[in-house]
């Protein structure tokens, strides 16, 4: 069993702050909620928006990567780490500090995360607070009836409901959902 360092959201933000201060690349392998919070934090605190942003309630493993180039540009990418039990995507950045907040194994890290740098296996300890922050934001608040609704997911990918698309949904109780 891997020994995991425990982190709260403020400690994750501290990791981000220190990497920005030192212009040091990082890649975090996270769940949906933490990926969302990291991207929001970088946008709100530093004005860094993701060049590529893939977030879906159907996927729960993400690569959130912040890269510093020699010309002073900063690149943020949030993308699916794996999809539907498919092997992880390769990450071949030369130098990254890796923070693994999922159940990705050491063997998978060695196989798919090819850059050099520090590696930490982590456990996120206040996931409930992050979920509540997302719900308060409302952007990703999806009730049980909506999250499995094929019509809505095809419309927006996040379970949003739009009256125009409700007819396409299989669940008749959808109108009772309040988002």
Q: Answer for the pair 89, 115: CB distance below 8 angstroms, yes or no.
A: no
Q: Which of 54, 58, 84, 36 is nearest to 150 (CA)?
A: 58
Rounded CA-CA distance 41/39 in Å is 5
pLDDT, residue 17, reads 96
**Do the Cβ atoms of 25 and 97 come closer than 8 Å?**
yes
Non-local CB neighbours of 161 within 8 Å, separated by 6+ positions: 146, 149, 152, 174, 177, 179
CA dihedral (33, 34, 37, 42) positive or negative: negative
The pLDDT assigned to 70 comes to: 87
pLDDT value, residue 166: 42
Query: Is beta strand 26-30 parallel, antiparallel or unpaired with respect to 62-68?
Result: antiparallel
pLDDT at 20: 95
Give CA–CA dist 50/60, Å, rounded. Answer: 18
Q: What is the pLDDT of residue 41?
A: 95
pTM, two decimal places:
0.68
pLDDT value at residue 115: 81
pLDDT at residue 89 in the model: 80
The secondary structure of residue 113, as a DSSP letter, is B
Q: Distances from the Cα of 103 to the Cαs of 1, 38, 40, 45, 93, in angstroms? A: 11, 19, 23, 29, 21
> Which value, to the nearest 10 degrees, does the dihedral of the CA atoms of residues 58, 74, 111, 11 take?
-70
Query: Can you list the residues of the chain whose pLDDT is less than 50?
Result: 133, 136-179
């Amino acid at each position: 069993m891997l020994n995991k360092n425990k982190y709260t959201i403020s400690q994750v933000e501290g990791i981000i702050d220190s990497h920005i201060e030192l212009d040091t690349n990082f890649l975090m392998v996270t769940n949906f909620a933490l990926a969302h919070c990291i991207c929001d934090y970088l946008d709100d605190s530093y004005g860094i928006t993701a060049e590529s942003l893939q977030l879906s309630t159907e996927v729960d493993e993400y690569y959130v990567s912040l890269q510093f180039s020699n010309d002073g540009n900063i690149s943020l990418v949030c993308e699916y780490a794996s999809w539907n039990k498919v092997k992880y995507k390769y990450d071949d950045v030369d130098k990254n500090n890796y923070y693994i907040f999922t159940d990705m194994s050491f063997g998978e890290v060695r196989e798919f995360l090819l850059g050099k740098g520090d590696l930490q296996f982590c456990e996120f300890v206040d996931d409930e607070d992050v979920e509540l922050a997302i719900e308060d934001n409302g952007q990703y608040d999806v009730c049980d009836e909506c999250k499995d609704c094929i019509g809505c997911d095809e419309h927006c990918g996040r379970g949003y409901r739009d009256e125009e698309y409700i007819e396409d949904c299989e669940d008749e109780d959808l109108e009772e959902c309040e988002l």
